[in-house]
Structure 1
Amino acid sequence: MDHEKLMADMIDLALLYGPKLVGAIFVWIIGAWVIKAINIGISRGLDKAKIDPTLKPFIKSLTGALLKVLLVITVLSMIGIEMTSFVAILGAAGLAIGMALSGTLQNFAGGVIILIFKPYRIGDFIEAQGYTGTVAEIQIFNTVLKTPDNKTIIIPNGGLSTGSLTNYSTEPQRRVDWTFGIGYGDDIDQAKALMLELCKADERILQDPEPFVEVSALADSSVNFAVRAWVKSEDYWDVFFAMNGNIYKSFNQQGINIPFPQMDVHLHKTSD
C-alpha cells in the first residue's frame, strides 16, 4: 500500500508540476536566446554610437546581468516558488550595498558619463578639481593625469562629471596673452611697433586674426601694453616663453626701459 501510495503521490506531483517545469524550461531556453540577441544588438549599437571601448564591456555585462536576474525570477515564479519575499530581500540588500558604496557608485556613474559624452579624451590638457595636466588614462572610477613636472594625479570621476572643467585641447587654436611694461619716458609708438614686428617675425604666430598690441594701463611705475596673439594649441607655451625672451632682448637693444619696482628712501636730519 505504501508503495502504491508513493507512486500515486509522485504521479500527482508530476501532473501538477510537470507542465509548469516544461513551461519553465521552455521559457528559460527562449529567454536565454532573447538575452543573447539583445546583447548582440546592444554591442552593435555601441559600435555604431562609437562608445569608448572601455565602457562597452561594462554596459554589456550590466545589461546581461539584469536580464538574467529577471529571467531567473520569471522561471522560478512559473515553477510555483513564491518570489515576493526574495525580491524584497534582494531590494533591501541592493539598497544597503548602494548606501555603503555610494561614493564608489558615484565615481562609477561619473566614469560612464565621461566615457559617453567625452568632455575630454586621452592626450587632452585639462584643468579640473584644482589640478592641471595631460589626461593619461580614463578609467571607469578614476581619471589619471600627468602634470608638466611628471607627477601622476588620480582624480575620482564623480567630481569630474559634476564639477567645472577647462579643456585646453578642445580647440585647434588658442590666444596667448602677455602684459609688457615700458617706462613713462619711452616712446609708446616705438614700443608698439617693435612688439608687432616680433609677433610677425614668429612663424608660429597666426596673422589671421592679427596680433593685437595696445596700451592697457597707466600703472604706478610703467605704461603697460596688452599683447594678444593666436597660435596653434600645441605651440602655446613655446610661443609664450619665446616672446618673453625676445621682448627682453629687443627692448634692451632699442633702449626701451623695462620698469621694475623701486622705493625711494628720504632721510631727514633732525636737531637734537
Structure 2
Amino acid sequence: MVGWEEQIPYIGITYFQLISALVILVVGYIVSKVLVSIFKRSMRKTKLPPLVIEFLGRFLAILLYTTVLILGLGAVGISVSPLILGLSAVIGLILGFGLQDTFTNLAAGVWIAALRPIDLGEVVEVAGKTGSVSGIGLMSTELKTPDNKIITIPNKLVWGSIIVNYTRMPTRRVDVDVGVAYGTDLDRAIKLAMDLMKSHPKVLDEPEPGVVITALADSSINLQLRAWAKTEDYWTVKGDLTRGIYELYTKEGIEIPFPQLDVHLKKE
C-alpha cells in the first residue's frame, strides 16, 4: 500500500503534494470560472457597455488563473517567492527587447474599451478589414465577416487606424448610381426615380430622398438616387432600388447605356 507521504520516484514530491496540487488546480479553475461569471453578471446591472464588461471579465480571469497556478506550484513544494522574482526579472528583460508591442496592444485595448469607438455587434471597417465586432480582448479585437470568417486584429492597429462605423447611427443614406443615355429627358428620368424611392415602404420621408446628376461621363449622364433608411434596412433598400430603377427605366424606354467608343476612320 502506497503511503501519502511517500515520494514519487524520479519526481521528488509526495503523493499528498501531487493530489493537493491537482485539487487546487481543478477547484481553483472552477471557482475562477464561477467568480468571473458572477462578476460579469453583476457588471451587467450597471451602465457599463458590454464591451467594457467583457474586457474586464477577461482581465479578471487571467489574474485568477495565474493565482491558481502559483498556488498549485506552491502545493508541490516549489517556493513561490523566488519564482515570482525570477519571472519578474525574465519579463523585465524580455520587455526591453521584444514585448513593447504587447503592452502597446494592452494599452490600446484599455482605450478602446473606455472610449468605445466600436462596440459589440457593430459593423465597422478597421485596418482595412470589414466585419461585425464579435469581441475585444487584452491584446486583440475580433471581427466576424459576412461570410462567417473571424479576423483577429492587434489592438494597436485598431486604435492607430481610421475606424469607419457603419451601424453606430440610427439612419444611413442609400446611394444608387445609374447612367442614362445622352438625349434622355432628364426631368422625366429624375421624376421616375423620385417616385420609385417615395413608393418604397422602407425609405424615410425625412430626410427627403433626392436625385442628383453626378457626372457627364463618356457614354452616359450619371444620376445618383439618394434615399434615407433605417440602418438595419440599408441593404434591403439598396437592393430594391438598384433592381427597381433598372426595371423601371427599361419599362419606360429610358436607355441605360453600356460603355461604348465611337471610332471614326479617315480615308486619305
Band the TM-score falls in, shorter-chain normalisation: 0.5 to 0.7
Q: Which residue of 209, 212, 230 maps to 2:210?
A: 212
Partner of residue 190, structure 1? 188
Shift of 1:105: 1.6
Partner of residue 98, structure 1? 95
Letter in 2 for 1:224: N
| CA gap 1:261/1:53 in 2 versus in 1, 3 angstroms | same
User: Are 2:241 and 1:264 equivalent residues in the alignment?
Assistant: no
Partner of residue 234, structure 2? 236
| CA gap 1:60/1:171 in 2 versus in 1, 3 angstroms | same
**1:163-221 superposed Cα distances (whole Å, 9 cap, x missing partner):** 21111111000111122211112111110110000101111110101001122322222
Asked whether the 8 Å contact 1:125–1:132 carries over to 2, the reply is yes
For 2:144 and 2:114, the matched residues in 1 are separated by 22
SS in 1 for 2:205: coil
| CA gap 1:268/1:56 in 2 versus in 1, 3 angstroms | closer
More helix, by proportion: 1
For the pair shown, the structure with the greater C-alpha radius of gyration is: 1
SS in 2 for 1:55: helix
TM-score if structure 1 supplies the norm length?
0.66
Asked whether the 8 Å contact 2:59–2:138 carries over to 1, the reply is no
For 2:225 and 2:171, the matched residues in 1 are separated by 16
Shift of 1:92: 6.6
SS in 2 for 1:155: strand
SS in 1 for 2:211: strand
Contiguous gaps of at least 5 residues in structure 2: 1-41, 65-85
Shift of 1:124: 0.4
| CA gap 1:138/1:61 in 2 versus in 1, 3 angstroms | closer
Letter in 2 for 1:50: L
Matches within 5 A, 1:1-272: 50=48, 52-57=52-57, 95-99=92-96, 100-267=98-265
- Among the aligned pairs, what percent are the same residue? 40
SS in 1 for 2:54: coil
For 1:235 and 1:135, the matched residues in 2 are separated by 19
Shift of 1:144: 1.2
RMSD value, Cα: 2.8
When the two structures are aligned, how many residues end up with a matched partner? 204
For 1:45 and 1:225, the matched residues in 2 are separated by 51
Partner of residue 82, structure 2? none
